[in-house]
Amino acid sequence: MTRTTPERPADVEALFPELSGHRRTGTRLHPRKGFAEPHQSSVAGPFLWPADEPWPVCRAVHEKGRGHLLTDVRLRRRIRDEAWRRDPRRGPSGKEAEVLDGLRESGLHVPELRTADPIPLLAAVQLFTRDVPDLIGPSGHDLLQVLWCPFEAHGPDRTMDVMLTWRRSEEVTEILTAIPEPTVVGRAECVPEPCVLDPEQVVEHESIELLSEESRQRIEAWEEELLDAAEERGTEREAGEEYELSYQGDLSIPPGWKVGGFATWGLTGPARIDCSCGSPMRPLLTVSDREWDGGSLSWVPLEDRETMRTAGASDPTGVYVGRGLMRVFTCPVDPSHPHRLNFQ
């Protein structure tokens, strides 16, 4: 299945020619629940990981035995998804509700696990450069594997910790099949659901806060004109059926998981992320809590239009980190320089 972003509702560079200087491509990943093969791009694996290479672990000092059992997180989601599939308007059946009630809450599940003990990282996303045109890594490497520790407990800001591995896929001959997993996760929303990907390259334009004052004023004036025109027409708006066109919501940056493109700065305002070598870094991977919301409906792919409002349609990965957005920034001068994370 392919995923197709609808044509933008207005030609932003025709309206504001200076924006051609603020254009970048990004690749929307379009994760959808499903099971991939190790030789395919996916969320949550299975990874093309060499059988003779140790699986990465988190050795950071933090509580590791307290949280949710990974098996419970998956069972809870499976029951919820099955109930939604049967009838999105009704909850789980009586028997399913009993199973859910029996699941253990967040708590101390593995008391013997000490704070400095290693725990396996979770396979988060693997991407082949052949699928993702904006994926640029160290020369000759065609596969990016992203793993993370499922505890928001690292560093002074107590965030997730993410590891990037670049490899040459042709060098992986024997594949690791028994992938180790942590028993306990800090938050259920740190666990990605298995998803297949349908990458699609799109054109983005810089976030409005980062445009010149003059551009911003012209864009805001244009948005007001649109509003006035809509009021004159006396358009009747049915809830959720129609919404105002805006630069930020429709013409700038698409929602959802993606590679490359620009970063949005809704929570903190624009920030500059610099590499240890001094270069301004770029967002390599954006991990988002949803593929669309009420303010970004024009980005919903054509193939999802009919089902866009069904339960669970907009958050196939189940991931919610930070306040909904995590970006992995890398160095454009040398992609092997250490990455940085930014949360919104």
- Write out the residues near Zn ion by the rule CB under 5 A: 58, 60, 149, 151, 275, 277, 279, 331, 333, 337
Nearer to Zn ion, 33 or 340 (CB): 340
CA dihedral sign of residues 336, 340, 341, 344: negative
Nearer Cβ to Zn ion (111/240): 111
What is the closest distance, in whole angstroms, from the C-beta atom of residue 340 to Zn ion in the complex? 10
3-state secondary structure of 31: coil
Tell me phi and psi for residue 143, to 5 degrees: -135, 125
- Name the residue nearer to Zn ion (CB basis): 98 or 274: 274
> Which residue's CB is nearer to Zn ion, number 59 or number 104?
59
Which tokens in the block code for residue 240? 């959720």
For 277: left if phi > 0, alpha if psi spans -120 to 50, otherwise beta; the answer is: alpha
In whole angstroms, the minimum distance from the beta carbon of 204 to Zn ion comes to: 23
In the complex, least distance from residue 56 CB atom to Zn ion, rounded to whole angstroms: 11
Tell me the three-class secondary structure of 86-151, residue by residue: HCCCCCCCHHHHHHHHHCCCCEECCCCCCCCCCEECEEEEEEECCCCCCCCCCCCCCEEEEEEEEE
Question: Minimum Å distance from CB 335 to Zn ion?
Answer: 9
Q: Nearer to Zn ion by C-beta: 185 or 259?
A: 185
Q: Which is nearer to Zn ion, 125 or 331 (CB)?
A: 331
- Are 205 and 23 in contact by the 8 Å Cβ rule? The answer is yes
Q: Of 276, 279, 275, 267, which is closest to residue 326 (Cα–Cα)?
A: 267
Shortest spacing between CB 327 and Zn ion, in angstroms: 16
Beta bridge partners of 57: 120
As a residue count, the chain comes to 344
Amino acid at 326: M
| Choice between 60 and 273, CB closer to Zn ion | 60
What's the closest the beta carbon of residue 258 comes to Zn ion, in angstroms?
22
Rounded Cα–Cα distance for residues 61 and 63 (Å): 7
C-beta separation of 121 from 188 below 8 A: no
Map residue 316 onto helix, strand or coil: coil
- For the CB of residue 115, give the shortest distance to Zn ion in the complex, in Å: 10
